[in-house]
A and B are shown apart, each in its own frame.
Chain A
Amino acid sequence: GQQLNQSPQSMFIQEGEDVSMNCTSSSIFNTWLWYKQDPGEGPVLLIALYKAGELTSNGRLTAQFGITRKDSFLNISASIPSDVGIYFCAGHTGGGNKLTFGTGTQLKVEL
């Protein structure tokens, strides 16, 4: 099946630092979604992107839908301890019923 390569696999950063992670695909997607999963919880939607080149913000989070439609990026500015968790990208090809998920980026924030 389709594969989404998400990087980095994990990050250990200082509080206040900015964070960047990305997701790349071998296939074109029509929608990119970014989810965050807290320990012991289900994934929660952060940002949804629907057009190539689209840049969307949600508070300190900013995500971009790559021009090639094969990648997406998530940035977190001025990280805080509650940003800890696993961040997943997911893509939808359009016309299908399923999302393809990345393997996740685990973020740890050091005080």
Chain B
Amino acid sequence: NAGVTQTPKFRVLKTGQSMTLLCAQDMNHEYMYWYRQDPGMGLRLIHYSVGEGTTAKGEVPDGYNVSRLKKQNFLLGLESAAPSQTSVYFCAARGASTDTQYFGPGTRLTVL
């Protein structure tokens, strides 16, 4: 039981490039979340999904898009990467009957 997995683990982009981060969960959870973590700022919510085919904006959604075409996958896209998007990105999932979110191992993204 892998729980929540994220790919890739590391990535370096040049300014203006695009990329997609993949989050996959095998717990059949309804809710999925994308966060970014920056030094001294804790975890900030980018986008989230309350079920397959639905997405919603979090605290810092600008510059990111998401899709939840399948229940088990939640994709985070950067259309035109900027240095300000250098961060560690975490995906999380939770079931409908609990407040507890389970996190993936993170993706470290550097934008040059």
Q: How many residues on chain A are close to B (CB under 8 Å)?
A: 24
Contact of B48 among A45, A48, A92, A97 (CB under 8 A): A97
Q: Closest Cβ of chain B: how far from A76's Cβ, in Å?
A: 20
Q: Mark B54-67, 1 if CB is under 8 A from A, else 0.
A: 00101100000000
Q: Which of B85-112 contact A (CB under 8 A)?
A: 90, 92, 99-106
Tell me if A33 and B90 are in contact (CB < 8 A): no
Q: Closest Cβ of chain A: how far from B83's Cβ, in Å?
A: 22
Tell me if A42 and B105 are in contact (CB < 8 A): yes
Contact of B43 among A48, A88, A97 (CB under 8 A): A88
Contact of B42 among A30, A48, A97, A104 (CB under 8 A): A104
Q: How many residues on chain B are close to A (CB under 8 Å)?
A: 24
Q: Which of A41-82 contact B (CB under 8 A)?
A: 41-45, 48
Knowing A48-B99, A103-B40, the reply to whether A98 touches B48 (Cβ < 8 A) is: yes
Q: Which of B26-83 contact A (CB under 8 A)?
A: 31, 33, 40-45, 48, 50, 56, 58-59
Tell me if B50 and A41 are in contact (CB < 8 A): no
Q: Closest Cβ of chain A: how far from B9's Cβ, in Å?
A: 9
Closest 10 CB pairs of A and B: A42-B103, A92-B99, A103-B42, A31-B99, A101-B43, A101-B42, A43-B103, A42-B105, A42-B106, A42-B104
A-B contact pairs, 9 of them (CB 8 A): A41-B105, A41-B106, A42-B103, A43-B43, A48-B100, A97-B48, A101-B43, A101-B44, A103-B40
The interface of chain A, by Cβ under 8 A from chain B, is 1, 6, 30-31, 33, 35, 40-45, 48, 88, 90, 92, 94, 97-99, 101-104
